[in-house]
Amino acid sequence: MGGGSRSKPNSFNFAIAFIDLWQGACLGEKDLFELLLSFRKHPIAFTVDIKQAFLNVELDDSDKNVTKFFWTDNPESFSESLEVLRFNRVLFGINSSPFLLSATIKYRLKKYSSLFPQTHELLNKFVYVDDVLGGQSAVASAYTISVECVQIFSEANMPLHKWATNSAELRELWEMNGFSIEISSNSIGQNMINYKVLGISCDTDRDVF
Task: Give the integer Cα–Cα distance in Å for 183 and 201.
Answer: 14
**What pLDDT sits at residue 203?**
62
Give the pLDDT score at 197.
Answer: 72
pLDDT band at 14 (very low <50, low <70, confident <90, very high): very low
Question: Which of 2-11, 106-115, 186-195 shows the highest mean pLDDT?
Answer: 106-115
* 183 vs 109 pLDDT, higher one: 109
The span from the CA of 114 to the CA of 141, in Å, is: 17
For residue 145, give the nearest of 129, 128, 131, 132 by alpha carbon: 132
Q: What is the pLDDT of residue 171?
A: 92
Instruction: Quote the pTM value.
Output: 0.72
- Give yes or no for residue 186 having a pLDDT over 60: no
User: What average pLDDT does the chain have?
Assistant: 78
Q: How confident is the model at residue 180 (pLDDT cuts 50, 70, 90)?
A: confident
Q: Is the pLDDT of residue 1 over 60?
A: no
The pLDDT, as a whole number, for residue 39 is 74
Q: How many CB atoms lie within 10 A of CB 143?
A: 21
Distance set, CA 132 to CA 111, 122, 125, 178 (Å): 19, 9, 9, 19
- Could you give the C-alpha distances from 181 to 18, 59, 128, 166, in angstroms and in order? 42, 30, 19, 12
Most confident range, picked from 70-84, 93-107, 173-187, 193-207: 93-107
- pLDDT tens, 70-119? 888 887 776 777 889 999 998 877 888 888 899 999 999 999 999 999 99
Residue 68 predicted with pLDDT over 80: yes
Average of per-residue pLDDT across 41-50: 90
